[in-house]
Amino acid sequence: MARILITGGAGFIGSHLAERLLELGNEVRIIDNLSTGSILNIEHLKSNPRFSYVVDTIMNQSVMAELVDWSDEIYHLAAAVGVKLIVSNPVRTIETNIKGTEIVLNMARKKKKKVLIASSSEVYGKSDKESFSENDDIVLGPSFRARWSYACSKLIDEFLAFAYWREQQVPVIIARLFNVVGPRQTGRYGMVIPRFVTQALSGKPITVYGDGSQRRCFCYVLDLVNGLIDLMAHPKSVGEVFNIGSDQEISILELAQLVKDLTGSNSEIVFVAFDDAYDRNFEDMRRRVPDLTKIRRLIGFKLTKSITESVQSVIDYYRSLGQNVILE
C-alpha cells in the first residue's frame, strides 16, 4: 500500500485514477479547487476510509507542503483543460499550468517524492507528421493565437520537470495524454464526445466545428489510468516522457454520425465555423495521432475498448443521470 496524492483529483481523469488506486489497496488523497472538476465525481469514494480530499488550490503552498510530505507518490493532473477554457482564459491557463507545476515539483524536491506529470499531445503543436513520437521536434503556432499558450505552458512544465530531475534528482515521469473519453467527462469546456452525446440525447443539433474532416484518436479512461499506474510503478520510466492514448483514428464527422447512430437520435448534424465557435485567431490541427511504440515496449500498454464502446460508455453515463440533468 502506498500513500498517493492526486492533484486535480476531482476531475474526469483524476476521479477514475483515484478509484482505481483505491481498488489496488492504496491510500489516496486528492486536492482540487473544483474549477473544472466536480465533487460529484468523487461522491462514491467518500465512504472509503483510505480516501480523503481537500478543496483548495495547488497554489496554496502550505496545504501542498503538508500533502506532499504525507505522500509517497504524486500524480499531478491539476491544469487548465479544454479548448473553450484555454481560448477564453489564457492568463488562467498559463498561470495554473506553469506556477502549479513549479509548486508541485519544488515541494517534491525536498523529500525526493516521485511525480508523474500529465502533459498533453498539444505540445506537438502544428507538426504535420503522420504520428507523433516523443523525440520529435516541436512546431508551435504564433503567440497571438491563444491555443498555443496552452501548448507552450505544458511544454514549459516538461522542461521544468526535466530540470528538477537533472539538477535536483527529483524522480519525474512525463505522460503526454492524447484524447481521453469515458463516464464523468463533461462537454462544458470543449470536449467533443460528451458535447455530441448531450446534444444527441436532448434532440439538439450536433455541432461539428469546421468541415469535420479533422481526425482524432480517443482512449478509454480506464485504459489510460492503468497505463499511468504502470508507468508510475516501473523504475525505467523515471526521467522519461511517454505518449499515452489510442492510435485508432476517426474523423470528427464520423464521430458525430457514430454518436447519432448509437443514441438513435433524430438530431441534425450541422457545421459551425471555428471563428464562430471560438475566435477568429483559432487554429485547429488536422490530425493528432500518437506513436505508442515507447510505452508499449516498457509496460505493454494496450487498449481494451474500441471507440464505439468508449462512446457507448458516455451515452450510458448521461442516460443514467436522468432527464433532470441540463444537457449541454
Average pLDDT over residues 170-197: 94
pLDDT tens digits for range 213-249? 999 999 999 999 999 999 999 999 999 999 999 999 9
Residues 6+ apart with CB under 8 A from 274: 209, 210, 282, 284
CA atoms 220, 161, 101, 288: torsion sign: negative
pLDDT tens digits for range 254-263? 999 999 999 9
DSSP code per residue over 72-92: SEEEE--S--SHHHHHH-HHH
Residue type at 303 in one-letter notation: L
Q: Which of 150, 164, 189, 318 is catalytic?
A: 150
Average pLDDT over residues 278-304: 86
Average pLDDT over residues 4-10: 98
Active-site annotation holds for 150: yes
Question: How far are the Cα atoms of 12, 169, 190, 205 from residue 159, in angstroms, in the given order?
Answer: 26, 14, 27, 42
Q: What does CATH list as the number for 3-180+219-244?
A: 3.40.50.720
CB atoms within 10 A of CB 49: 6
Q: What is the pLDDT of residue 126?
A: 87
DSSP code per residue over 77-134: --S--SHHHHHH-HHHHHHHHHHHHHHHHHHHHHHT-EEEEEEEGGGGBT---SSB-T
DSSP code per residue over 199-239: HHHHT--EEEETTS--EEE-EEHHHHHHHHHHHHH-GGGTT
- Give this prediction's pTM: 0.94
Edge-to-edge strands, sheet with 287-288: 249-251, 215-217, 287-288
Average pLDDT over residues 276-288: 68
Average pLDDT over residues 101-123: 96
* Per CATH, domain 182-216+248-286+305-321 is 3.90.25.10: yes
Could you give the CA distance from residue 290 to residue 130 in angstroms, rounded to a whole number? 9
pLDDT tens digits for range 79-111? 877 666 666 677 777 888 899 999 999 999 998
Per the structure block, which three cell numbers stand in for 234?
516501473
What residue segments make up the domains of the chain, in order of their start?
Answer: 3-180+219-244, 182-216+248-286+305-321
Range from 107-116, 169-178, 210-219, 318-327 carrying the lowest mean pLDDT: 318-327
**Residue 323: pLDDT over 60:** no
CB-CB contact of 223 with 157 (8 Å): no
Could you give the CA distance from residue 101 to residue 177 in angstroms, rounded to a whole number? 16
Average pLDDT over residues 168-193: 93
